[in-house]
Chains A and B, each alone.
Chain A
Amino acid sequence: MSLNIEVEPSLPFSTTLRLEGRLDNDTTAIFDEELEKALESSVKVLVMDLAKLEYISSAGILSVLKAQKTMVGRGGKTLFGYLQPGVKKVFDIVKAVDLRSVFASVEELDDYLDAIQKQLEE
C-alpha cells in the first residue's frame, strides 16, 4: 500500500508534512527520509497533517515518536491536524501524542499557526 508525502515549509518557523495513504512497515522508510530532511532545518514547529492518513502501525508510530523527541530536544513542538478515527484510536492506545497537540481540523491548526506568525511579526 502506498504513502504520499507532501512537504510544505508553510511558515518561516514551521514545516508541514502532509501524509496520504498508509504508514506501515513498508512505507515508514520513505517517511523517515522526509522527516530527516525536514528536521535538518531549525524549525521550531513540525506540523503533521494526517487528515488523509488511513492506517498506521507501530513502525509508523515509532517514527512519529522519534520526531516528537527531536522537536522536544530542540525546544520546539509537534502539532497534528485532524486524525481519522482509526488512526486516532491507535494513537490513543499507545499514547503516541499529547492530546493538546492535536487540532480538530486542519483549518483550526492553520489559524493557530497564523496567530503564532502574527505574534512573531509584532
Chain B
Amino acid sequence: MRHKISLASEPDAIGPALDELESCLIEDGVSTEHVLEVRLLGEEAITNVVKYAGAASMALEVQVTREEIVVVLRDNGKPFDPASTESPDLEASLADRPLGGLGIHLIQSLSDAVSYSREEDQNVLRLTKRR
C-alpha cells in the first residue's frame, strides 16, 4: 500500500504526521517492532528538516510491500544529505562526547538503505526498512 501524508514544516506538525504514519503502518499489518522503528526514522528525518532546512513545504510518503517499508521525505529546504553525514564520536567519554548528530546516526543505523537526491529544488530522502 502507498500512503501520502501532508505536513507543514513546523514543530507542531511533527507529532500528528507521525501518528498518521503509524496508523498507516498498523493498517498495513506491519509488526509493532517495525512500526516503532519506522516511526523513529520518520521522527528523526522530519525533525531534522523542520529544525534546520528552512523548508517552506514538505511531504511524506510511505510504501509497504511484503518485503519492505519505504519512507520518502521531500522538502524544499537547503540541500542536505543525511546519507553521507559522518557519525558523531560515540566512543568519547561522557564528559567529552558531543551531544548532536544522534538523529542522523539513528537514521543511518536503523535503515537498511538510505538514499538522498536533490531533484530540482527538493531534497528527496528515501529510507528503506526490510520486514
Could you list which residues of chain A lie within 8 angstroms of chain B, going by C-beta atoms? 1, 24-26, 54-55, 57-59, 61-62, 65-66, 68-69, 72-73, 85-86, 90, 93-95, 98
Decide: B47 and A94 in contact? CB cutoff 8 A. no
9-residue interface stretch from B33-41, B52-60, B67-75, B116-124: B33-41
B91 x A25 contact (CB < 8 A)? no
A-B contact pairs, 23 of them (CB 8 A): A1-B19, A24-B15, A24-B18, A25-B43, A55-B36, A57-B43, A57-B47, A57-B103, A57-B106, A58-B44, A62-B102, A69-B94, A69-B95, A72-B95, A85-B33, A86-B36, A90-B106, A93-B105, A93-B106, A93-B109, A95-B90, A95-B91, A98-B94
Q: What residues of B have a CB within 8 angstroms of the CB of A55 in the complex?
A: 36, 39-40
Q: Name B's A-contacting residues (CB within 8 A).
A: 11, 14-15, 18-19, 33, 36-37, 39-40, 43-44, 47, 90-91, 94-95, 97, 99, 102-103, 105-106, 109-110
Q: Give chain B's interface secondary structure class.
A: helix
Contacts of B37 in A (CB 8 A): 86
Main secondary structure of the interface of A (DSSP, over half): helix
**8 cross-chain pairs, A with B, having the tightest CB-CB distances, nearest first:** A58-B103, A58-B102, A95-B90, A93-B109, A26-B15, A57-B43, A94-B102, A55-B36
Beyond A68-B94, A93-B110: 15 further Cβ-contacts under 8 Å?
Answer: A1-B15, A24-B43, A25-B11, A25-B15, A26-B15, A55-B36, A57-B43, A57-B106, A58-B102, A58-B103, A65-B94, A65-B97, A72-B95, A86-B33, A95-B90
